[in-house]
């Protein structure tokens, strides 16, 4: 199975409105609720691809209960979330149907007590024994040490489990130093980590900081990969418009599924780009338009080798 870790789980709420205007009242045309947080989005996509997934992290309060009840209805996903006293956060996405743009509102998450953090670490180390790969995803809730991901990366490496890290800021900087197998920052996160705004130089710098491989998400321009086996760019044949929430998480699912299936890097990247674009076309995060995914994968993700930065 693949293990995904979401320390700051959420209940994702998506509102669709005819047009979003500041300082105005809006009539919502559609509302959807889903279990959220980056790792849970990754898990749902992996399950849809046919991979058994176990999810762990924290869940608490009535919102956490709603998240867990929803997960129980997702085939292929096993719930191993650790209970906390605080309430799981909510995230709200407001989709402007006129422009396709999305406005995101993210709550901070519950305060995690030291005993709860210790209970999670014990559960995590037990779950690693049955994992083919692990993804560490998203922000840290209040109370969790800023170096948490570094410790979780080291535990995975000690267990011989490939580990992907998808976070930002100081947790990413410390996590990279623990030598994860793969990181997947976006362009801003990569620039913050390395100090370079040139993507190719920045991916090379991130590898020097400790990551074995780096796949940078460049928005509509697709992905840039810096790996021991080579460097590639992968992009969709045309820009897609829609709800970008969860597109990066779907790319992570594509990379992880390709890893456990032992696909060559170009095929992993093509899958990740196709899933990401197909997720933009889906109304909510953690889902993708399967017909669009299969069409993109079959006809048009361009993957090209990349030369060294000058």
Cite the active site residues.
249
- Name the residue with tokens 């170009």: 266
Q: Is 213 helix (H, G, I), strand (E, B) or coil?
A: strand
Phi, psi (rounded to 5 degrees) for 261: -90, 0
Distance CA(273)–CA(279), nearest Å, equals: 10
Q: Quick check: 283 and 243 in contact, CB under 8 A?
A: yes
- Of 161, 200, 155, 159, which Cα lies nearest the Cα of 182? 161
Burial 53-73 (b: 16+ CB within 10 A, else e): bbbbbbbbbebbebbbebbee
Structure tokens, 300: 């048009």
């Amino acid at each position: 199975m693949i293990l995904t870790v979401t320390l700051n789980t959420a209940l994702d709420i998506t509102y669709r409105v005819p047009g979003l205007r500041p300082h105005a009242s809006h009539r919502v045309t559609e509302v959807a609720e889903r279990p959220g947080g980056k790792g849970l989005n990754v898990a749902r996509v992996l399950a849809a691809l046919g991979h058994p997934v176990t999810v762990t992290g924290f869940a608490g309060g009535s919102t956490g209960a709603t998240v867990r009840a929803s997960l129980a209805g997702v085939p292929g996903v096993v719930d191993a979330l650790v209970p906390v006293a605080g309430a799981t956060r909510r995230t709200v996405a407001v989709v402007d149907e006129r422009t396709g743009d999305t406005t995101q509102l993210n709550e901070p998450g519950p305060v995690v007590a030291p005993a709860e953090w210790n209970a999670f670490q014990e559960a995590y180390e037990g779950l690693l024994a049955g994992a083919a790969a692990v993804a560490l995803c998203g922000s840290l809730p209040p109370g969790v040490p800023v170096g948490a991901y570094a410790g979780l990366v080291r535990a995975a490496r000690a267990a011989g489990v490939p580990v992907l890290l998808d976070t930002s800021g100081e947790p990413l900087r410390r996590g990279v130093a623990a030598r994860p197998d793969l990181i997947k920052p976006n362009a801003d996160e990569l620039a913050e980590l390395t100090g370079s705004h040139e993507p190719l130089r920045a991916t090379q710098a991130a590898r020097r900081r400790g990551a074995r491989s780096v796949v940078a998400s460049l928005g509509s321009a697709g992905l840039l990969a810096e790996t021991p086996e080579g460097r590639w760019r992968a992009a969709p044949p045309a820009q897609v418009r829609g709800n970008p929430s969860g597109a990066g998480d779907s790319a992570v699912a594509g990379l992880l599924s390709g890893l456990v299936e032992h696909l060559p890097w170009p095929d992993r990247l093509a899958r990740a780009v196709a899933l990401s674009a197909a997720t933009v076309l889906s109304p909510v995060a953690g889902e993708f338009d399967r017909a669009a995914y299969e069409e993109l994968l079959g006809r048009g993700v361009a993957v090209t080798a990349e030369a060294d930065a000058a």
